A = this chain, B = another copy of it.
Amino acid sequence: MNVTDAISKRRSVQKFDPEHRLSYPDIESLILAAMHCPSAFNIQHWRFVAVESPQIREQLKSTAWGQPQVTDAGVLMLVCVDLKAWDKSPERYWENAEAKVRESMVKGMRGYYRNDQLAERDDALRSGAMAAMTIMLKAQDIGYDSCVVACDYAAAAKIINLPNDHAICMMLTIGKRLEDAYPRPGMLRLEDVLITDTFK
């Protein structure tokens, strides 16, 4: 599928075929796509939890106000981020670079995040959200639909044993569409969102 169609045809589908499960190669292709996203200092904060267990999905449904898509979709994907990834063997993010570059990047990230928990969180969420968007577009490409699911992140974190130094960036459902999404409920206009040079 071409990029333009994937972007315009991606809608937040909420009714999925409960009989259809994504194969492991399908899941792998979504994650491999997401792994090509950019991230601050190439930290690749993303950790993707593909929830296949019906029992765990049932528990997670309760954190998402009972939305049936959490158990019905072909896979449930929790896009998590490691907030402290910058401090966990960061040399590996630059292993193919020259030693001088690698050392400079490692020093840079340690200096940048060490005393700034907001920057640490913001950058991790930026990475996770870019990865999530890529998963949704790749899903279109291989014949699936998707939805970002509102959930109680703290409650979901407990169920998936999320480490204390991680955060959930997004809960996604991906699968075979049974019903189209509702029409777009209200799009801002181009002139509402595109600004030239500076705010007035």
Chain A residues 3-51 with CB under 8 Å of chain B are: 3-4, 6-8, 10, 12, 27-28, 31-33, 35-38, 40, 42, 44, 46-51
A159 to B198, CA, bound (A): 8
A108 to chain B, nearest CB (A): 9
Interface size class of A (residues with CB under 8 A): 35 or more
Could you say how many copies of this chain the assembly holds? 2
A199 with B162, Cβ < 8 A, contacts A130-B130, A140-B3, A185-B93 known: yes
Across the interface, do B198 and A49 meet the contact criterion of CB distance under 8 Å?
Answer: yes
Given contacts A12-B38, A27-B194, A126-B169, 20 further A-B contacts (CB under 8 A): A1-B3, A3-B3, A3-B140, A4-B138, A8-B36, A31-B194, A44-B193, A49-B196, A49-B199, A50-B194, A56-B198, A92-B186, A105-B185, A126-B129, A129-B133, A133-B133, A160-B197, A160-B199, A161-B199, A161-B200
